[in-house]
Structure 1
Amino acid sequence: MTEIVPGLQGDIPSNSRKGIPYVDGKEKVVACAKHYVGDGGTTKGINANNTVTSKHELLSIHMPAYYNSIIKGVSTVMVSYSSWNGVKMHANRDLVTGFLKNTLRFRGFVISDMEGIDLMTSPSHANYTYSILAGVNAGIDMIMVPYNYTEFIDGLTMLVKNNFIPMTRIDDAVKRILRVKFTVGLFENPLADYSMAKYLGCQEHRELAREAVRKSLVLLKNGRLADEELIPLSRKASKILVAGTHADNIGNQCGGWTIQWQGQSGNITHGTTILAAIKNTVDPKTEVMFSENPDTGYIKSNNFSYAIVVVGEPPYAETDGDNLNLTIPDPGPSVITNVCGSVKCVVVLITGRPVVIQPYLAQIDALVAAWLPGTEGQGVADVLFGDYGFTGKLPRTWFKNVDQLPMNVGDLHYDPLFPFGYGLTTEPLKAN
């Protein structure tokens, strides 16, 4: 995953010192490694919750990506809202200054999350003077203050003047911020290069995104029996049903942080829905019928060759995505049951994570984890119909039920629905 750092900033020179931020010219941007550290291990997976683990586990499981990012010249690191063994990361001097800056020798700057220092108290912002003091002295160099920035400036100034925050701490923060700004060339070129705007949404980038969709899809089931494979689907079928809440919805395909913070359902930006992709791919004589939530009578009366069900989670980001049940929202389960109980079906799941699917698995002929394919739904059809083969593997264990969580490879009672690294493969019907 840390390969995104040179992708954003450029390849670091071979003679560069470890920990020094590097950005290769105006066509590159500053990368940020986040959220430091352990926010992927919070209790019950709740956003900004407490990560209860030993130091050995923290360093061996959660820290390696930061170490690799620093080697690759990452410019900034953002601190997590979460806590480690009850200590807020925004106030954790041992890990921010002691380990990140001194042990790993990170020389870029550390930034807070949005209102991250406010959330060190409960309720939020209950003692802002303490929050400034604890956050800055922990080693945070830049504070993200989205609204009342003058309150922060006044509070920080007071704390420095009264020697609660030493000038050496301020000097360290300023030096780090200036180092990154000089590296980027902000003083020579303070404004964005608008000539680069022409590349936003360009066809070359969409083709790359479409390729990423093809390669990230994971085929979890293909036929109720080994000799009854459904995928690749026939593009010359007489009549196909496409069903589900996510079949004709760009916003649902994209998830959160799309156009706006939480994302939004609907065709909110330019792209290709999975329904449109299917219509683009099948034979011109094939009839494609779409129903978001069909009943069994409709399905049985139409004599479909097979059905493609596309369901999943609504768009979400951060706390709005917290879910202790991890079930597919209605009407997703009934769509699966109605359709797959009446006709051969492939279910395509649009989710940001594994969800509960075991109760429906016996009815499903083929199952695809499509994650969040974004705007390029054509990449899904490319693989369903055999222009390309399935090659993706699960990047995490798929559970049977949430009572098993957390569950990881190596656990004493590791009993997944689909294990880490699982994924069926298919051969393309024609060379590409």
Structure 2
Amino acid sequence: MIADMVSRMSLERKVAQLIQPQINSFDAEEMREYRWGSYLNGGNGGPYGDEFAPASEWLRLADEMWDASTQPLPDGEPIIPTMWGTDAVHGHTNVVQATIFPHNIALGATGDPDLVRLIGAATATEIEVTGIDWNFSPTVAVARDDRWGRTYESYSEDPELVAQMGAALVEGLQGKKGAEDYLGRGRVIATAKHFFGDGGTDQGVDQGDVNGDIDALKSIHAVPYPVAIEAGVETIMASFNSINGTKMHGNEALLTGVLRGEMGFEGLVVGDWNGHGQIAGCTVSDCPQALMAGLDIYMVPDDAVALHSSLVAQVRDGTIPEARVDEAVARVLRIKQRAGLLGPDAQRPSARPNAGEYDKLGMAPHRAVAREAVAKSQVILKNDGVLPLKPGADILVAGVAADSIAQAAGGWTLTWQGGRELTNDYFPGATSIWAGIEEAAQESGGSATLSADGTFEERPDIAIVVFGEEPYAEFAGDRKNLIFADTEGLELLRKFEEQGIPTVSVFLSGRPMWVNRELNASDAFVASWLPGSEGAGVADILFGAKAATGKLSFSWPANCEGNPLNGPDGALFALGYGRSLDDTAPLGDLDEGCGFLDGAPAADWFVNGRLSAGISASAGGMDLPNLRGEGGGVVARGIDRNRQEDARELTFGPDSSFTVSGEGEGAYIITYNLPAAPAGTVTIASGERTEDVTRRMTVAAGKGWREMVLTEACLGEFGDGLTIATNAPLQFSIAQISRSTLPEGTECSF
């Protein structure tokens, strides 16, 4: 059937099956004209431009796109329905009212694959409610550097645990291979991602470089894929990162040679968001290399028409053999057939099982599974005898995170980045950590009072302080070190300590972090991760309603530098650590020293739109007073970042350079924004050494404002100035330049 359909399709229709735009960039009329094989909603995308649209609007759009894709075609050309993919990475969390499960880092701490299967099944049902076919999950990254902004999407630093949990989620989403319900009612297509090495980038830089012996890299980062394939995963997503200098979207040796040749994967390989555009020689609208390397579907959010035009032309001129197109199209159609989207019994989205049954979004059985997952994921790191909380206790609950469902949920929650600006009104049916504690306290015969700033009128018996990382996703969460620098929780803990009030810390984070100060100031400390919508699961552990069984799936750092651990060396708490409620052995006082915090304050060279006294800027021998003006092919102008003209945009012509100089000591720290990858070579020089930073700047491009740290590790002995030079046009913005003494051995980072 599949071969016959492919043989009757026009080249234009075949190429369209390999293109996946996002819902915010096209409409049903375009779908009717081009017949895109699939489409997606991005992290900030919602039907008809409303990312908070009710579930009924998601289903309406699914029907609309299905109808447009199934209109009759001339000359008997086969009609191929489209399919919709979404990032439901911890529940169907793009949709209001859906159950928000704990992120993968928490599920790794449960060590319970059967529970993960239940989560997959619940998520699939809620996805089906909205008429969507395909989930871009599970993430089977093996995160080996916790500075990475996607660490919370990883189950563990242990490849075997990642493999076990990832396969369980695949089975939960799709059903077990060979079972009657496989890809049937309450099941959706799953995606193992990102193949491969996404969790192994240098310094944890998202989309960065992974370097080393290929067999050694495979022994860590490729381990989850054969297990997911054995579990029946239908699709695998290519990774943004490079392996030894070659971007994965264009890496034929790995996408085809290893994934298909060695691992035997016969399903569909889909790209990530414009990932093909990062291949050398490619743009987002012109990239035959990706298809030839083994990609089957281009995820091209906003340039689908232009990419379609170039691919059709490249098949016609012989750049791409049509047989390769036919191979990829057959894979797309085969998955549609298996999922019931192609054939005489295929149904419009709203006519399918679970579709439009909106009471299944966040329904009680799903929330019960989520609550169980929260409880099983709580890891007790310290307990001086204050847990479980005593019945009848009067409890003060402090910290702005305590009553924020959004902060407990983290990134990929209603919006791409998530955030506390999403008030609890956005989460009907959900329970904050505070609300769960309040209910448990009352049931125990005690009371609970919420006071974000920790003030009180009547002295409590104990205080629970809820604090942690604010939400983030992907590269926005990349960090230079593992210091938990927000002092709100620390200040509250120390205040209660001075008042003689025992404290329990509930720490929300997407990774292990250096919290020695907070641990010292707490009588009990719980790593709560990103628990999601069922905060009562936290209270279940604090009050002893359930046994504490959570174990670390990542090594916890003893120091603040952030260098990769992945074992007991340098770990305060090793992989697998986690106390039971009756383990009250003293932790002892921890070292609170941290070179990043203990050094002298940074000396600002450029801040708030002004050069400091004694600091000069120049280009081509021409002075740039207050970093404005032009010279030697460089133009510097004021731009707004946080306030009026507090930053500078530097536009370089070919073979131009910019220098800032003055007296100072220590590393250079630059807050910068590089909107697009360099067109040529970029170098940075200080003293007698010049460093080619082109590749590292390319990885940083398009990620917004970032921090560049330049130490002796890459520049050698510093001179009294810093020069940035390029041989091709470049646009580069600077908000701050400072110098600071950092701990010895600090790496250069971008």
Q: TM above 0.5, one fold?
A: yes
Q: How does 1:92-107 map onto structure 2 within 5 Å?
A: 92-107=251-266
Contact 1:272/1:376 (8 A) holds in 2: yes
Partner of 2:418: 263
Aligned to 1:336: 493
Report Cα offsets for 1:124-178 as digits up to 9, x if no partner: x75743xx12211110000111112101101111111111111121111011111
Aligned pairs for 1:32-51 (under 5 A) are 32-51=191-210
Confirm whether residue 353 of structure 1 aligns to residue 522 of structure 2: no
Distance 1:174 1:99 in 2: 21
Letter in 1 for 2:190: A
- What does 1:40-119 align with in structure 2 at a 5 Å threshold? 40-119=199-278
- Whether the 8 Å CA contact 2:392–2:447 is kept in 1: the answer is no
Distance 1:425 1:380 in 2: 14
Secondary structure (helix, strand or coil) at the match of 1:241 reads strand
In structure 1, what is the Cα distance between the partners aligned to 2:173 and 2:541? 29
Q: Deviations over 1:304-353 (max 9, x none)?
A: 21100000111111011111233333423323332344321010011111
In structure 2, the CA distance between the partners of 1:324 and 1:341, relative to structure 1 (3 Å rule), is farther
With the length of structure 2 as denominator, give the TM-score of the two structures: 0.52
Give 3-state SS (helix, strand or coil) of 1:240's partner.
strand
**Aligned counterparts, 1:134-283, within 5 A:** 134-187=289-342, 188-192=345-349, 193=352, 194-223=355-384, 229-237=385-393, 239-265=394-420, 266-267=423-424, 268-270=426-428, 271-283=430-442
Cα offsets for 1:362-382 (capped at 9, x unmatched)? 221100011111000000001
Q: CA deviation at 1:200?
A: 1.4
1:361-412 superposed Cα distances (whole Å, 9 cap, x missing partner): 22211000111110000000011001111011000100122425211127xx
| SS class of match (2:264) | coil
Aligned to 2:73: none
- Within 5 A, what are the aligned runs for 1:292-303? 292-294=452-454, 298=455, 302-303=458-459
The answer to whether the 8 A contact 1:111-1:142 is kept is yes
SS at match of 1:283: helix
CA contact (8 A) 1:217 1:380 kept: yes
- Deviation digits for residues 198-220 of structure 1 (CA, Å, limit 9, x no counterpart): 32110010011000111111011
Distance 1:82 1:257 in 2: 20
Letter matched to residue 379 of structure 2: V
Q: CA RMSD for the aligned pairs?
A: 2.1
SS at match of 1:403: coil
Q: Which amino acid aligns with 2:451?
A: S
1:406 aligns with 2:561: no
Going from structure 1 to structure 2, the CA distance change for 1:323 and 1:269 (only over 3 Å counts) comes to same
Question: Is residue 2:484 matched to residue 1:317?
Answer: no
Does residue 290 (structure 1) correspond to residue 447 (structure 2)? The answer is: no
- Secondary structure of the corresponding residue to residue 348 of structure 1: strand
Instruction: Tell me by how many angstroms 1:196 deviates.
Output: 4.9
CA distance in 1, matches of 2:478, 2:487: 17
Q: What corresponds to 1:10 in structure 2?
A: 175
The 3 A distance-change label for structure 1 pair 206 and 91 is: same
SS at match of 1:346: strand
SS of 1:152's equivalent in the other structure is helix
Between the two proteins, the alignment pairs up a number of residues equal to 405
> Contact 2:465–2:489 (CA<8 Å) still a contact in 1?
no
Give the structure with the higher percent strand.
Answer: 2
- State the shift of 1:102 in Å: 1.8
CA distance in 2, matches of 1:87, 1:385: 52
CA distance in 2, matches of 1:190, 1:388: 44
Q: Is the 1:347–1:364 contact (alpha carbons within 8 Å) kept by the matching residues of 2? A: yes
CA distance in 1, matches of 2:358, 2:449: 38
Q: Which consecutive unaligned segments of at least 5 residues does structure 1 have?
A: 17-21, 224-228
Q: Secondary structure at the match of 2:275?
A: coil
Aligned-partner Cα distance in 2 for 1:61–1:406: 14
Q: Secondary structure at the match of 2:300?
A: coil
- TM superposition shift of 1:427: 6.2
2:193 is paired with a residue of what secondary structure? strand
Residue 574 of structure 2 aligns with which residue? 419
**Identity percentage over the alignment?**
38
Q: Secondary structure, in 3 states, of the residue corresponding to 1:289?
A: strand
Q: Tell whether the 8 Å contact from 1:26 to 1:184 is kept in structure 2 after alignment.
A: no
Contact 2:276 2:284 in 1 (8 A): no
For residues 172 and 61 of structure 1, what CA distance do their matches in structure 2 show?
A: 30
Partner of 2:463: 307
8 Å Cα contact 2:438/2:449 also seen in 1? no
Does the CA-based 8 Å contact 2:184-2:339 persist in structure 1?
Answer: yes
Among 528, 550, 553, the alignment partner of 1:392 is 550
Q: Say which SS state the counterpart of residue 567 (structure 2) adopts.
A: coil
- By how many angstroms is 1:103 displaced? 1.7
Question: C-alpha offsets along residues 189-238 of structure 1, whole Å, 9 cap, x if unaligned?
Answer: 24332155432110010011000111111011001xxxxx110011301x
Q: Distance in 1 between matches of 2:268 and 2:330?
A: 9
Per-residue CA deviations over 1:234-291 (Å, capped at 9, x if unaligned) read 1301x32111121000000111111111112131312111111111011366342222
Helix, strand or coil for the counterpart of 2:310? helix
> In 2, distance between residues paired with 1:26 and 1:287?
45
1:226 alignment partner in structure 2:
none
More divergent stretch after superposition (255-264 vs 278-287):
278-287
TM-score by length of 1: 0.89
Distance 1:341 1:395, change over 3 A: farther
Hey, which bits of structure 1, 4+ residues long, moved more than 6 A?
A: none
